[in-house]
Amino acid sequence: MSTLPRGSTVRRDAGLYGYERTLRRHGIELIAGVDEAGRGACAGPLVAGAAILPSGKAGIVPGLADSKLLTAKARERCYDQVVRRAVAWSVVVISHEECDRLGMHVANIEALRRAVAKLDVAPSYVLTDGFPVDGLGAPGLAVWKGDRVAACVAAASVLAKVTRDRLMDELDGDWPAYDFKTHKGYITPTHTAALDEHGPSPVHRMRFVNVRRAAGLEEPADGPALESAP
């Protein structure tokens, strides 16, 4: 299923909790949001989060928004609130090795499925960010920019982002030459310079063209640092 229940609509100005309110008016109470962090990074793990927020005031998370729009401190505050308020929540970590083995799209889908399956309470409906995901065990809807317009997806994005940032901070201690604590494994001039100087670390994703190039497995070329073909 990839539509809202028959007869239901969500106004563009409904606010962050509009999708949940609409679904609950149709008797759907346990609504999970799921999102990932780190898909576009060329180093470190992929992390997916899932969250079911309660109805009413208990489910209103102060300051909640798309994790990418929040400062690091604001994300940490929201993380604590989501963990405290959620009916159920989960995070799943997909290692860089598994990302290389599966490819990023398949790894991303697998991470989202695992995050929903790991919830202590089975959802009645699942909202995903941007594209539909089958195999979630419940009907659902892909919401364009879901982490900006659906509270449960925003909560999931915060869980995933904070968890992954903490992991990248730990990896920075193991591999300080790459400055993972600053760029979290995404491509920046500093990261590119470190790759050029040191080559890939053991936690870089070898499917990415820029990493393969730094390892001497690809000819130098202009263009973005995209994942290579399988």
Residue whose entry in the numeric block shows the structure tokens 């009645």: 124
Question: What is the distance between the alpha carbons of residues 208 and 230, in angstroms, rounded to a whole number?
Answer: 10
State pTM to two decimals: 0.92
Predicted local confidence at residue 48, as pLDDT? 98
Residue whose entry in the numeric block shows the structure tokens 């982490």: 147
Question: What is the distance between the alpha carbons of residues 89 and 70, in angstroms, rounded to a whole number?
Answer: 20
Q: Which residues of the chain have pLDDT under 70?
A: 1-14, 219-230
Predicted local confidence at residue 15, as pLDDT? 86
Domains detected in the chain? 18-168 (3.30.420.10)
| Residue 77 neighbours by CB under 8 Å, 6+ apart | 62, 63
Predicted local confidence at residue 146, as pLDDT? 87
Question: What is the distance between the alpha carbons of residues 142 and 34, in angstroms, rounded to a whole number?
Answer: 10
Q: 35-46: buried (b, 16+ CB within 10 Å) or exposed (e) per residue?
A: bbbbbebbbbbb
Question: What is the distance between the alpha carbons of residues 16 and 10, in angstroms, rounded to a whole number?
Answer: 11
The interaxial angle of helices 151-174 and 18-25, nearest 10 deg, is 130
Query: Tell me: the pLDDT tens digits for 181-195?
Result: 999 999 999 999 999
Predicted local confidence at residue 226, as pLDDT? 65
Burial of 152 (0-12, 13-18, 19+ CB in 10 A): buried
SS percent in the chain: helix, strand, coil, step 5: 45, 15, 40
- C-alpha torsion 185→186→187→190, nearest 10: -50
Predicted local confidence at residue 230, as pLDDT? 38
